[in-house]
Amino acid sequence: MVALAVNLQLAIGLVGADLAATKGLLEQMGRDVEQALADATQLAQQIYPPLLDAGNLTAELRSAAATAGVRARIEVAADMRHAPEVAWTVYLCWVEALERAGNEAQATIAVRENEGTLVFQIGTQGDRPGPGLQRLRDRVEALGGRLKIESERVSGSLPLSA
């Protein structure tokens, strides 16, 4: 955005002096704006994915894997609906695991309900060390759940009712 503002000032200065240079600069600025909008949209979806509001955890898990460039197997019952904070926490654990796995890796996630508890297991190949899952442990435990972190596997549980 700073570069865009600088280029806008340059374009204003070039308007009367060099029409071809002005046109080229404005075309580049248009491409920069499109990229900035795409980046902002991606960031907004990472901050709070819109499909989670609709209860579509499966679609958001798939979207996160596609964005990360990770081949994924996702197993979530189609009729599962959860409180937003529960779905969001599972989603964050998945995104962190995908980031740790890196591009071209493989990952799996299975989410199921078991006696009033949401249970999830995440497995990845190509796992790299990172502190993110340790931070998520606090979030899971704040909801009354548990998170177990192993080298290529994360498993957790969250109560479905308070």
Instruction: Read off the pLDDT of residues 103-145 as tens digits, 9 standing for 90 and up.
Output: 777 899 999 998 889 999 999 876 565 666 778 888 899 999 9
Q: With CA atoms as reference, report the closest residue to 104 among 67, 65, 70.
A: 70
The average pLDDT across 36-47 equals 70
Output the six-digit token pair for 138. Answer: 């606090």
Which CATH code fits 55-159?
Answer: 3.30.565.10
CA distances from 139 to 83, 111, 116, 120 (A): 14, 18, 19, 15
Q: What percent of the chain has pLDDT over 90?
A: 20
pLDDT at position 140 is: 93
pLDDT, averaged across the chain: 82
DSSP element (H, E) containing 50: helix 50-53
Using the 8-state DSSP alphabet, how is residue 160 labeled?
A: S
Q: What is the phi/psi pair of residue 79, to 5°?
A: -95, 10
Q: Which of 4-8, 27-31, 90-94 has the least mean pLDDT?
A: 4-8
Per-residue pLDDT reduced to its tens digit, 47-74: 666 656 556 788 888 888 888 888 899 9
Q: With CA atoms as reference, report the closest residue to 54 among 21, 80, 26.
A: 80
Q: Can you give the length of the chain in residues?
A: 162
Strands, DSSP E only, in 32-151?
71-76, 106-114, 117-124, 146-149
Which residues partner with 159 through β-bridges? 117
pTM of the full predicted structure? 0.67
- Cβ burial 3-19 (10 Å sphere, 16+ → b, else e): eeeeeeeebeebeeeee
